[in-house]
Structure 1
Amino acid sequence: MSSTKLVRVSNNIRGKKLISSDGNFEEFLSSVRSKFELDEAENITFVEEYGAEVDSDVFPILVSLDGIQNIIFKLEEESSVLEIDLSYNNTSQSSYFLPAAGNIGLSQSFGIGDNFKQILQTTVQQNNVIHGIVEDCKSKGFVDDKSSTILINEFVSKLIEIKGDSPATSVQKQFAAAIVEILPCWRYSGSKDGLDILFDEVSRSGLIQTRLRRIHQILHTSQKISFEFSLMKEESQHNFTNSWPVFSSKLLIKAKEFNSSPAVTKYLAEESDQWDQSLAALFLLLHLIPPAAQGKAKGSRSKTTCAQMLMVSYYKSGTPLNSILDTWSDEKRQPNLICLGEDKKNLVSFSLVVDKILLPIDATNSTEAIDRLFKSHYVFSAEYDKNLQGVWKFLQVFIYKIDVDKTDLSRKIKQVSSQLHGILAESRLE
């Protein structure tokens, strides 16, 4: 095999590292020894993430597969370590031992899932929303669908933080056991270990497994949003980037001619100049097609400024990306564009947050970034946020030209499209 690929190599004690390999097993073995500072005398065995042994015959084939492969190495001295018994039992618990690295010679005993259990308990206690959901489920004696989605998203995010985005099957099962310990009503009575809802060894359709697959899909697709979208809507692929620069410029100039409402007037006078042209026009469109009230309840309509933050989030250059996710609002459930720059007019970096996962995108300016944000709804099968439906449907029908005759448009969208008919025509969109 001539091309060089990355391999994620891990060990339960020594952590994980990325190692490049062209498929030569002996060179790979040497790299592992070097990276993990192992003696030449150490007897190393490799297994893939499901436990099958990887030898010199299998290794080149495994590395040639698409994506980054996960390979776990074990040392002969670790073979005597007790395997983790993951059977769930309320009356007794087996224990396992983690031998210390190097020559420290210490070992520590843990009950089944105690490490994960402690981490999950801390996570629950530190998050008032999650704590409330857990207590509510305990009180009801079951986990409803909405609570299930929120809890799995939160818990699996913590698992990924600890073990990476491809935790071993045994780790997933141990994690499921820990969840069942802190939330017994999630235990499935129809199986011996009670983990089937969270981790299904046969169908691999447990909630943890499904969530991890979703994350893999997002991570593997993030850099190919435009390509994936082109496979779905080839005729619409370039409509936005070809037309938005002209459209946005004319919209900012002419909007006050057909809409002199206090909100639009204030935005044009006080806020639009703070942003670069593309984003300023996008937010102006949001003022022209503000969020519609949802149902009869008061307060169900989001303010335009709040709706704006559901679409785009700005941070100063140098803001740690981890801190962005740590403080991410639960209200931002749909794809959101992250913009970094010295100020809002001079943006230098763009990312998306999808399902609370930060994704780099191939955008060099805000027009391309907005384009990727819109397309991500199609690529990741995400619904429009209810507060942003007006803007997204306008872009979908009148800019991208998607499902023009099939999309249900509100009176407001039709009215604005009529007012903008001249600008659309001048931007070659009519």
Structure 2
Amino acid sequence: MRIDSEAKRLVESILIQKPGGEQIINEYNRTKSLGDETRRKMVNILAADMTEKNGSSPPRQVKEKYARGIVALFPYLSDPFSKNGYEHYYDGESGTGYLAWRIKTIQRGLAKERRTSFEGQGPSAEGMSGGPTIRREPQFAPEAVLSEDECKEAIAFMKHSADEDSVKMKMKLTFDYRHGMVLDPVQSNNILTVFPRFKDIKGLIKQDFVLMFGGAVSGKLLERWPTMFKKKVIQHCKNLPTTSDVQELLIAAEHPTDDSEESANFVWDSDLSSKLLLLHLIPPSAQGRKRPGKVSASQAERHLVVFKKSGTNIEEHLRNITGSDQPYLLAVGPQKNAVHQYFIILDQHAIPCKSTSSLGAFDELFKAHFVFGTNYNTILHNMYTFIQTVYNIDVGKVNESPRVAEVRVRLLS
């Protein structure tokens, strides 16, 4: 009983101190249970605390103590059919349970970070890596650096403030704190929990991107795509082998005034069609050691943008998501070429785009990878590394296929 009391106090103190922890306790007090998302948050918080204090491989007795503390603090979560009641959180005999699985995820993230760091060692280390997940020095230099307590006060203020301008200012002031979380494999999954205003205040992704790269870089896609790239992409795609998919996109990209109901339901607008042509000009990629089967450009499109009719229940769409956590666009409107709202879908969260144009929404989607430190979808890796060229981000520093370099030369000549 003494040990369980000690474990209970440990878990309770962690949840009280960590962002989002009190909501977990409140939900249990209200319902005598925890929903799936709340349980995941609790496990993430406790596993993060455990690895911070005990390293990435905590001893068995430590993991058991945290598991005991969970069911001591929340007795209705105890499993009466197991030996100790907490095995579903950690079973020392089999090494399984929610805490064990989360710690393994943390270990994989740390191992990947170490591999990336090791592969970049040497005299040209900084010149051999690039993309949304690398460490870089932000352009933003705050006039005043907030202490950790001041950051927590600002975070608490933002969660309940109805003043959008004040929230945007606080988001700017907490940028360094948030950027540190993004680069921390233990905390990166909690960004939208700690900073939930991304999900209801439009423009915060662009604001963080500007703080990272500056306003000149941020505006390059919207400036350069219509004037430098769009017509050339269309022209080069006319030389590709003729397929119905390519022809449909070419017509939509060149003739945006076709408002027939049949066309509107199946064809995207001109700007998005020109973006999707890139998937045919630069075929989908298969990166890494475990190369997936060949994916067509039309199949890759579904990893970039998904269309739903107006009136779609967004929460239901989020619940039905399975598989990859890489962000994609959800386009909502009466028909494909008349989209009224775009959302960035990331890890079962919907972030509304500020722009209602397809080009502006794609711009925000690309920036979201850097703001949240998210890898490109493997299938879309070639296309995204080419888009880095448009922004002039890490050109020559990112692993790219010969086809990306070839198309870049053609379109910039």
Q: Smaller-chain TM-score range? A: 0.5 to 0.7
Is 2:311 the partner of 1:318? Answer: yes
Deviation at 1:70, TM superposition (A): 7.2
- Aligned-pair distance for 1:279? 0.9
- Spell out, residue by residue over 1:303-328, the C-alpha distance to the aligned partner (whole angstroms, 9 max, x if none): 22221111111111111112211332
1:343 aligns with 2:324: no
Change (3 A) 1:170 1:183: closer
**Divergent runs of 4+, >6 A:** 48-52, 67-72, 169-172, 179-183, 295-298
Residue 334 of structure 2 is aligned to residue 353 of structure 1: no
With the length of structure 1 as denominator, give the TM-score of the two structures: 0.51
Amino acid at match of 1:420: L
| Bigger Cα Rg | 1
Could you state the TM-score of these two structures normalised by the residue count of structure 2?
0.53
Letter in 1 for 2:74: Q
C-alpha spacing 1:172/1:220, structure 2 compared with 1 (3 Å): farther
Partner of 2:404: 413
- How much has 1:299 moved relative to structure 2? 5.6
Matched letter for residue 90 of structure 2: R
2:376 maps to a residue whose letter is Y
Which residue in 2 is equivalent to 1:216? 193
Query: Within 2, Cα distance between the matches of 1:405 and 1:217?
Result: 35
CA contact (8 A) 2:250 2:274 kept: no
CA distance in 2, matches of 1:199, 1:171: 18
Q: Equivalent residue of 2:331, what SS?
A: strand
- Normalized per residue, the structure richer in helix is 2
Q: Map 1:16-415; keep pairs closer than 5 Å.
A: 115-116=33-34, 156=40, 174=74, 177=77, 184=87, 186-187=89-90, 189=92, 213-217=190-194, 219-222=196-199, 223=202, 224-234=204-214, 235-247=216-228, 249-251=230-232, 253-262=234-243, 265-268=246-249, 274-294=267-287, 300-330=293-323, 332-397=324-389, 399-415=390-406
Aligned partners of 2:237, 2:198: CA distance in 1, in Å?
Answer: 40
**Percent of residue pairs identical:** 23
- CA distance, structure 2, for counterparts of residue 172 and residue 230 of structure 1: 46
Question: Superposition RMSD on alpha carbons, in Å?
Answer: 4.7
Question: Whole-Å Cα distance in 1 between the matches of residues 213 and 374 of structure 2?
Answer: 16
**1:239 alignment partner AA:** K
| SS, match of residue 306 in structure 2 | strand
Amino acid at match of 2:226: P
Count of matched residue pairs:
272
After TM superposition, give the deviation of residue 186 of structure 1 in Å: 4.1
Give the CA deviation at 1:396.
0.6
Distance 1:408 1:381 in 2: 17
Letter aligned with residue 221 of structure 2: F
- How far residue 411 of structure 1 moved from its aligned partner, in angstroms, is 1.0
Higher RCO structure, 1 or 2 (CA under 8 Å, sep 6+): 2
Contact 1:294 / 1:300 at 8 angstroms: preserved in 2?
no
Structure 1 unaligned segments of length 5 or more: list them: 1-47, 53-66, 75-83, 85-96, 99-109, 121-152, 160-168, 201-208, 423-430
**Separation of aligned partners in 2, 1:68 and 1:50:** 8
How far is the alpha carbon of 1:329 from its aligned partner? 3.9
Deviations 1:373-401 (A, max 9, x none): 0000001110011100011000012x110
Letter matched to residue 207 of structure 2: F
Deviation at 1:343, TM superposition (A): 1.1
Q: Secondary structure of the residue that 2:221 maps to in structure 1?
A: helix
- Cα pair 2:283 2:382 within 8 Å, conserved: yes
Distance 1:183 1:301, change over 3 A: farther
